[in-house]
Structure 1
């Protein structure tokens, strides 16, 4: 992350020095489409994110400059002051959500920049919200705890950016801890840190450079399938509210009463919940071979049962297997984006070279490669 460019630009634009804050993007090792099915997710903060320099300016206006877009926005802090630029909605939204909770904010100057690749599924927007939420909370002594900062980020998406997201991205960005993943129940916000020390392995994302527009209809259709299956199971087992409460035996009992499609979707969801539990146990024992097998099983489930993969992502998954990668899967909601790969260090170079060459040969474009390390969450840098 280029702190020098941010500092120099801030000085040039505003003639002063502010305080530097950083919040990371995230990966999710396993647990995909589990959040709305009452299961857990297993994200970790990464060493890429959003860096901002911030200083109160004694006015009632925010003056913000996006270094990456080379764009400037100026706006007040009342509801009717919403800026035109879509990138500025994130900063404005965080300010408004904090004010709704009683925070007393005033105008400030800021320059920010990011090295979280946009559209790669690493949650650059959550990193941006977390940076400003964390910073303003500290600068203005608002007294919000970390869970409130997570909800402020989520509500910013809902109310100012038009994205009805869950809490995983903001939670990982705020609560991230080096050397740990976070086992998070998205419905209760209960969490525990799970050790992640993959000695002898590297974690790398391979971006298929196909955009994952999270088209509402296929996403919602899968959610509805899972809800119908859970409702069918609940007739015999009233304790089952979501598929996270069910097991495969319960699903078998209703196989004849639900559609084949609903049965497939529910099979994936129940298996994925169990895989996450098994993966956490394996991580505590340092058993990365089992972790890798589970990651491959998730890809198979997302591709064949949940049907949210793409030709490109399946191709990258096949190459990973051929190159002896320990675990590989599509990461995120699906329909494009990245694979996340747990790669033995001695096979890393060969895997990257092979993936880039074969992908280019088949699809006429190179995939993007993002090595990541599991790192700390939102913080002040100086």
Structure 2
């Protein structure tokens, strides 16, 4: 936060009016179910994207100037008439949020933003959604507009879907805006109903393994999976795969695999919630691993690094492990006995070293607070 404030002061010669922060997220389970009207179970991380912001005096309403601590000296100006697809790179995310807010009828003036982050990009931890959510809070905060978190999540999702061109579901934005410390967020993506699920796992830790394999889901693979799910639902005659039961009508083997993952994943989310609420956290381990197998074999969104991290963690004593995020790189989440964390992390590092891969980054994580104003 302080770095963003200093950078804002240096760039514009004045103090920001405020600083807003939005966390990244880990999805404990419920992958690729959100755009199928299904269930997801994410939680917020301690690491955040921060946005220092102030009105841009003299500029026309809707104009935006953004800079990032990760690109020192670079400023991106966005005109008020910017259309979807017209802003390249990372600046498309804050520009898209401003566009979505104004398109929804909210009067947003011109603003200057400086972005800071301690979230790694491309690690499957939703740094892009965190940027959207922090921007949404900053722009509405500057304008004196108070919107419910669920509405901000929908607007941030629209920014990514329409302005950026990434057909994501609403999981990431909801997790960033609606999470509470010490809880998992059970989200029904059909009606956007939420339930805070306490995470009490005495003697257990959640180990996050960043494989450091970067990915970009805008390259078509994510969109292809979503299109397959929509086609499978159409052939089954249901509104979404959330409603599917008997899959025997799917004769196309690819569509069958995609649908089988979604149906099974929704069931796994519900089972994990039931176990956690019954105080049986250790019992969720096999469900996490089953989720990874399904993502690897039926949804085909894993990669060698993710598979190696899961296998090494399980062999070293993890109770369960799975890739988290959209796939094709990113991170693994593992449920590990507290006294085995160091051993599991070392085993994963060794597995990567033996294959000549860059060393992964391992750390324990806890469910943390959602987006908020911090200054």
TM-score under structure 2 length normalisation: 0.89
- Kept in 1, the 8 Å contact 2:96–2:159? The answer is yes
Distance 2:355 2:39 in 1: 36
Distance 2:145 2:23 in 1: 22
Larger radius of gyration: 1
1:47-196 equivalent positions in 2, closer than 5 A? 47-60=46-59, 62-73=64-75, 75=77, 77-80=79-82, 86-196=89-199
How many angstroms does 1:205 deviate by?
A: 2.0
Q: Which runs of 5+ in 2 are unaligned?
A: none
Distance 1:292 1:29 in 2: 11
Which residue is 1:212 aligned to? 215
Which residue is 1:328 aligned to? 321
**After the TM superposition, which segments of 4 or more aligned residues of structure 1 sit over 4 Å from their partners?**
80-85, 215-234
How many angstroms does 1:26 deviate by?
A: 0.8
RMSD: 2.5
Q: After the TM superposition, which of the residue ranges 367-376 and 313-322 deviates more from structure 2?
A: 367-376
1:263-274 equivalent positions in 2, closer than 5 A? 263-274=256-267
How many angstroms does 1:70 deviate by?
A: 1.0
How many angstroms does 1:28 deviate by?
A: 0.6
Q: Tell me the SS of whatever aligns to 1:113.
A: strand
How many angstroms does 1:118 deviate by?
A: 0.3
Which residue is 2:289 aligned to? 296
- Kept in 2, the 8 Å contact 1:59–1:108? The answer is no
How many angstroms does 1:264 deviate by?
A: 3.4
Distance 1:109 1:219 in 2: 32
Distance 1:287 1:73 in 2: 50
- Kept in 1, the 8 Å contact 2:32–2:326? The answer is yes
Q: Tell me the SS of whatever aligns to 2:3.
A: helix
User: In the TM superposition, what whole-angstrom CA distance separates every residue of 1:18-69 from its partner, at most 9, and x where no partner exists?
Assistant: 2121101111110112223332111111111111222224222544321121
How many angstroms does 1:85 deviate by?
A: 5.5
Which residue is 1:360 aligned to? 353
Distance 1:70 1:26 in 2: 26
Which residue is 1:237 aligned to? none
Which among 242, 252, 268 is matched to residue 275 of structure 1? 268
TM-score under structure 1 length normalisation: 0.88
How many angstroms does 1:213 deviate by?
A: 3.5
- Kept in 1, the 8 Å contact 2:166–2:223? The answer is no
User: In the TM superposition, what whole-angstrom CA distance separates every residue of 1:84-130 from its partner, at most 9, and x where no partner exists?
Assistant: 65222222222222122222222333322101110001111111111
2:341 matched to 1:348?
Answer: yes
